[in-house]
Structure 1
């Protein structure tokens, strides 16, 4: 793939000079914009060693300046991860991409982030706080995504938490889900933000509804 091809097939930005240094220059354009996991893993591996990864991601997340790119990998994140990052932006949460770039280095915290890949994001943040790292949750999340980790707001059941993911949503994230719903965020995008399936979000919602109905019946009795 040539530099000209890369320039023409990527959303326009104010400055395209960094593209000539992108590590994806020799990747096929169909691979870059693919939603197949194997293709995305190949592109993300290139992004991890890319010297302009942060510039690429900054360009890809200027949502207010143009249409969102709903496919492929950009700045080391898949389009689903970028959509979750957009929900963070709606909540006023913005990553420090330079700091995220430091966190992924093997000589800093890259190895630790990989070891914690199945933990909830809050648990990872707590671990980092204990080591004196004050990076924001969304900054740590971007670093974990760059390394290929889940970086979900809920933990895998085998990570030590033990609760089903739908139970974690029910117990820990009701206010967040209600806030995003009130903001008009779709169930699909809420699920992307949490790092779970839409069905798991719906299961938690139904449990909250049943609990509210029971509480209403008890008050009426």
Structure 2
């Protein structure tokens, strides 16, 4: 990914050596493209940037480098084929102990598997459904690995399923995850993004849910 200086950016606490950065950046597909192309907010602009990234031979190295340089509370631009929001979600995954196998995700986003992943996305929609389908094909994959592949292919990668409102699903399926992330210091907005619900309304709904859970525990004590 091409980078440009940001005067509002906080200094990174993790740095990649100049030699290592230069080594992979020399092979990057974006090396002849202006950095502004990767710091866009429009859906079309981000898709164009992602299209460059997904064809890049050093996509995995770029994402690892971008994650290392991201401040945990501040991300900006498309890097390693993922938007800033998607990289924030990966921070939540790591809080839960989930680390993607990026090499496997790269394989799933390649011509060899991309059509299968897209077909499963259309037929089963949920991440868990896609994982189940790929395991039926004989692939040992995790949900977070598939999530990255789906993102690289332009999908949503939401944790929400079909058939019920997302508010209902928060209450029925995700209380434990929400409670764990909150206990580990995750912001409500990042929990909402992790689950794939609207950031503002989702944050409010999660806050209300946590209050109800706390009240129920207090009454049961």
Query: TM-score w.r.t. structure 2 length?
Result: 0.82
Query: Which of 100, 103, 126 pairs up with 1:120?
Result: 126
Root mean square deviation of aligned Cα: 2.7
The 8 Å contact of residues 21 and 52 in structure 1, kept in 2 or not, is answered as yes
Give 1:202 deviation, angstroms.
Answer: 2.9
Give 1:125 deviation, angstroms.
Answer: 1.5
Give 1:133 deviation, angstroms.
Answer: 1.4
Distance change (3 Å), C-alpha of 1:19 and 1:215: closer
User: Structure 1 CA distance, aligned partners of 2:134 and 2:176?
Assistant: 25
Partner in structure 1 of residue 9 of structure 2? none
User: Structure 1 CA distance, aligned partners of 2:104 and 2:127?
Assistant: 17
Structure 1 runs of 4+ with >3 Å offset: 6-12, 66-69, 207-217
| SS across alignment from 2:26 | helix
Structure 1 window deviating more from structure 2 (130-139 vs 144-153): it is 130-139
Partner in structure 1 of residue 149 of structure 2? 143
- Structure 2 matches for 1:43-82, cutoff 5 A? 43-62=49-68, 67-68=71-72, 70-82=75-87
Query: TM-score w.r.t. structure 1 length?
Result: 0.82
Unaligned runs of 5+ in 1: 156-160
User: Structure 1 CA distance, aligned partners of 2:71 and 2:96?
Assistant: 20
Q: How many residue pairs are counted as aligned between the two chains? A: 207
Query: Which of 197, 202, 205 pairs up with 2:204?
Result: 202
Unaligned runs of 5+ in 2: 7-11
Give 1:120 deviation, angstroms.
Answer: 2.0
- Structure 2 matches for 1:85-96, cutoff 5 A? 85-96=90-101
User: Structure 2 CA distance, aligned partners of 1:98 and 1:211?
Assistant: 39
- Structure 2 matches for 1:118-197, cutoff 5 A? 119-155=125-161, 161-197=162-198
Partner in structure 2 of residue 99 of structure 1? 104
The 8 Å contact of residues 34 and 71 in structure 1, kept in 2 or not, is answered as no
